[in-house]
Amino acid sequence: MADVSLYIVPTPIGNMADITRRAIEVLGEVDFILAEDTRTSGILLKQYDISRPMMAYHQHNEHKVLEKVVERLKAGEKAALVSDAGTPGISDPAFLIIRECIRENLEVSCLPGPVAFVPALVSSGLPCERFIFEGFLPHKKGRQTRLNALKEETRTMVFYESPHRILKTLTQFGEVFGSDRQASVSREISKIYEETIRGTLAEIISYFESNTIKGEFVIVLAGSN
């Protein structure tokens, strides 16, 4: 392996076959794997017959285990960081450990691979040569302020949302951006029931009001003209 201490390894967001050969090789060669949920990652590792020690690393314990992990890397061990799905650092923990590794002159390498917002953006039919990624909006404090700040944004906007908040978020978008604003909503990307709904916010809201809402969602919203 190259002189890399920490590998950031994207994992499939749906279809298990979406993982790269290089990701499989790295996961099989590192000394240990930092996993958002060791049970979820364990299923992936078993699928590809990978047996490496795992350590839980997520938003609730990253501050607590950070020093211990970095000390192991400084001692010469190599680690891979994975999230439950997609690329770590994109709406998942990674920033703190990457920053600390860089401070300690430990080499970090991020492998290319799956991330949910890219296929959603490309298939939306909306301009994607210039866009902004907002991820998950604040649930309460600062939410309305953030939406108001985006009201005049001319670039295409990309958001993540959970199934139990999707209708509320789309409704708020309609109130702030106008119900006739063009949008695209993708769910279950790379899975059996993958679906993308395109149209105005009013049309998309109407669709989800009368259809089952399941899966994780990516909302792609047209910018202001």
Tell me: pLDDT of 138 over 70: yes
Same-domain pairing of 160 and 193? yes
What average pLDDT does range 132-136 have in this prediction? 97
Q: Are 80 and 7 spatial neighbours (Cβ–Cβ below 8 Å)?
A: yes
Domain count, the chain: 2
- CATH number, position 96: 3.40.1010.10
pTM: 0.92
Question: Which domain, by its residues, includes 146?
Answer: 117-221
For residue range 175-214, what is the model confidence (pLDDT) as tens digits?
A: 999 999 999 999 999 999 999 999 999 999 999 999 888 9
Instruction: Provide the 8-state DSSP code for 11.
Output: B
Domain boundary among the residues 110, 134, 157 is at 110
Tell me: pLDDT of 1 over 70: no
pLDDT averaged over the chain? 95
Confidence of residue 225 (pLDDT cuts 50, 70, 90): confident
Same-domain pairing of 132 and 216? yes
Confidence of residue 140 (pLDDT cuts 50, 70, 90): confident
Residue owning tokens 């201490």: 5
Same-domain pairing of 106 and 148? no
- CATH number, position 133: 3.30.950.10
**Burial class of residue 52 (count of CB atoms within 10 Å of its CB; 0-12, 13-18, 19+):** middle
Q: Which of 15, 17, 42 is nearest to 27 (CA)?
A: 42
Domain boundary among the residues 95, 110, 125 is at 110
Q: Rounded to the nearest 5°, which phi and psi values hold at 106? A: -95, 130
Residue 209 CA to residue 177 CA, distance in Å, equals 19
Q: Which of 44, 14, 16, 12 is nearest to 28 (CA)?
A: 44
Confidence of residue 129 (pLDDT cuts 50, 70, 90): very high
Instruction: Provide the 8-state DSSP code for 6.
Output: E
Report how far apart, in Å, the C-alpha atoms of 171 and of each of 77, 162, 181, 203, 217 are.
Answer: 49, 14, 12, 11, 15
